[in-house]
Structure 1
Amino acid sequence: MFHNLIIYRIAPGWLPDLQAVEEALAKCPFLECGATQEKSLGWMPPRGEAHGALAESVAGQWMLRFMVESKTLPASVLARKVKEKADRIEKETGRKPGRKETKELKDEAKLDLLPMAFTKQCSMWVWIDTASRLLVLDTSSQGRADEVVTLLVESLPGLSVSLINTQTSPQAAMAHWLKEQEPPKGFTVDRECELKSASEEKSRVVYGRHPLDIEEVQAHIDAGKLPTKLAMTWDDRVSFLLTEGLQVKKLAFLDTVFEGKKADDGGFDTDVAIATGELGKLIPDLIEALGGEAESGVATAPHQ
């Protein structure tokens, strides 16, 4: 269900109300792009059922699903269409279109082509843990996360959030774990890592499927290269790639998570219960491994 994590802390003061969230999301439902529409975004039922609830609660964990649909026009196709229009004007009037008219021709060409453009859909799971005051987005794109957070903050009165900020930066912690060969309690270091130099050359060393408990890695760190990505496993249950920005990528639940589960135990509720159950323990352990949470500002809705 989750493949990437960007984690926010929900500030005190927001009173969670599932019905209020449902009503707020209903004001921005996802609708497919119209014929000449480049992009559409909004909320869709997490269960995938038509006309279903937009905010689902499973064992107290709230799940939302955000959808974006966009149309892509290859630049070469658009340029060719604009040239055709410009050539026609030049042939009919004997003059070349000016800069302003060329811009108008580009807008006109785009409207002509959009009905024939391919569409791409991208959805994102949004998890709200009201008890732990966490907002977790299943994305590796900070820009896309900002888009969703802004929409939520503007839609839900009193909601304010901030990215989780730890006492020790992930980069400093990863460097220590690699140099001293001492992963934090409950975690193991796996076989993937990226090290980057802070110098102007920005030199980079990447290890993939390679043991990291070697002098070469420690020498790179001594030489000033710092880890930007590190593969880890938590409690022999969840593997992931930790980044310098405290993003969790390449999330995978290991076989031990599913021991004792029947083959027919699948379905939305089971998937949510497993994912939130495991991640609800992993996230605080990861924060603790990074020295605990530091104070930080919160993002609030802009004043009207």
Structure 2
Amino acid sequence: MWFKNVCLYTLEQDFPYDAESLDERLARDGFEPCGRLDMESGGFSPPLGEGATQLVHPTGPCLMLALKEESKLLPAGVIRESLDERVQAIEAQEDRKVRKKEKDRLKDEIVLDLLPRAFSRSKRTFGYIDTRNGWLLVDAATWKKAEEFTERLRDVLGTFPVQPPEADTAPQAVMTRWLTRDAPPSDFALGDECVLVDPELEGGEVRCKRLDLSSAEVKNHLKAGKRVSRLALTWQDRVSFVLDADMSLKRLRFLDAVQDERAETETNTDAERFDSDFAIMSLELSRLMPRLLEVMTDDQG
């Protein structure tokens, strides 16, 4: 459940649902496994996983949700091989050429024949609504994936006005200043990786990993005009992450100070552990995210 990424949205109005009423709404779009002839299926599922029934897991002011997606695995090579065999058989038996329209029909028949026997895979995307701060945080590596989550919520709620945060200063410019000066705000520390891009050369980028970011090599790239599009940071020795120029967080990790607090919390069941972890994680993010938005406005920290 611990988030590895964060795409943050701000709610444009107070969230009108509590856990119970939101659960009732989500039940209208509850997850159902793929049917025999379905390629994919999706819907909200209990955050606690198998055996649980609640579609909303509340902890304090935060409401955890999980969007589950299932898809059938039909390798393109298997379909292509079956299609080739059928086409060759028809052409040999009937002494004629199989045209594209007929091939498309044959392909559809093959897919329908294979679907009931196909393996499936599923994945869950977690997100939670922080009703106190007016946020939605989604554990998604891209905004496109996060938008799938928000669109699904919007569909089931009828309306769900949210938007990504807007920084007064472009994050790329702020991160470039931090790295140029070796001086992020006092409660942040530079990590050991970054991505530098050339604003005048499309696709021109330099990826630095496991490198001292104050080194001459990095400084020379900055002097040549490259800009920072991703930067590894640590906040208060509690949380590390890679900040993207689009304001998303990637490779989020909760460090020893947080894990020690987690270890001190007594839990007897999986549900209690989930509840405790969610409380700890949401508390850390409720402190980190406002600070991060603040330093994007005032990069003097």
Question: What TM-score does the superposition give when structure 1 sets the normalisation length?
Answer: 0.90
Residues in 2 aligned to 1:106 and 1:170: alpha-carbon distance in whole angstroms? 48
**Offset at residue 202 of structure 1 (A):** 2.7
Matched, 1:278 2:284: yes
**In structure 1, what is the equivalent of residue 171 of structure 2?**
170
Residues in 1 aligned to 2:18 and 2:56: alpha-carbon distance in whole angstroms? 10
**In structure 2, what is the equivalent of residue 196 of structure 1?**
197
Instruction: Give the AA of the match of 2:296.
Output: L
Deviations 1:200-247, CA, capped at 9 Å, x for gaps: 363322221111112332221221211221110011100011111111
CA contact (8 A) 1:71 1:119 kept: yes
Q: Secondary structure at the match of 1:70?
A: strand
* The 10-residue stretch of structure 1 (205-214 or 267-276) with the greater mean CA deviation from structure 2: 205-214
Cα root mean square deviation, aligned: 1.8
Q: For this pair of structures, how many residues does the alignment match?
A: 292
Residues in 1 aligned to 2:186 and 2:11: alpha-carbon distance in whole angstroms? 26
How do residues 120-135 of structure 1 correspond to structure 2 at under 5 angstroms?
120-135=121-136
CA contact (8 A) 1:240 1:248 kept: yes
Instruction: Give the AA of the match of 1:223.
Output: A
**Offset at residue 187 of structure 1 (A):** 0.8
**Offset at residue 13 of structure 1 (A):** 5.2
Q: Secondary structure at the match of 1:125?
A: strand
CA contact (8 A) 2:14 2:134 kept: no
Instruction: Give the AA of the match of 2:155.
Output: E
Q: Secondary structure at the match of 1:136?
A: strand
**In structure 2, what is the equivalent of residue 207 of structure 1?**
208
Percent pairwise identity: 36
**Offset at residue 49 of structure 1 (A):** 4.3
**In structure 2, what is the equivalent of residue 62 of structure 1?**
63
Q: Secondary structure at the match of 1:26?
A: helix
How do residues 214-253 of structure 1 correspond to structure 2 at under 5 angstroms?
214-253=215-254
Residues in 2 aligned to 1:160 and 1:80: alpha-carbon distance in whole angstroms? 47
**Offset at residue 32 of structure 1 (A):** 1.8
Residues in 2 aligned to 1:64 and 1:18: alpha-carbon distance in whole angstroms? 10
Residues in 2 aligned to 1:278 and 1:51: alpha-carbon distance in whole angstroms? 26
Residues in 2 aligned to 1:158 and 1:94: alpha-carbon distance in whole angstroms? 59
**Offset at residue 199 of structure 1 (A):** 3.0
By percentage of residues, which structure has more helix?
Answer: 2
**Offset at residue 191 of structure 1 (A):** 0.7
**In structure 2, what is the equivalent of residue 262 of structure 1?**
264
Residues in 2 aligned to 1:158 and 1:34: alpha-carbon distance in whole angstroms? 29
**In structure 2, what is the equivalent of residue 31 of structure 1?**
32
How do residues 56-205 of structure 1 correspond to structure 2 at under 5 angstroms?
56-200=57-201, 202-205=203-206
Residues in 1 aligned to 2:35 and 2:159: alpha-carbon distance in whole angstroms? 33
**Offset at residue 35 of structure 1 (A):** 2.5
Question: What TM-score does the superposition give when structure 2 sets the normalisation length?
Answer: 0.91
Residues in 1 aligned to 2:246 and 2:119: alpha-carbon distance in whole angstroms? 33
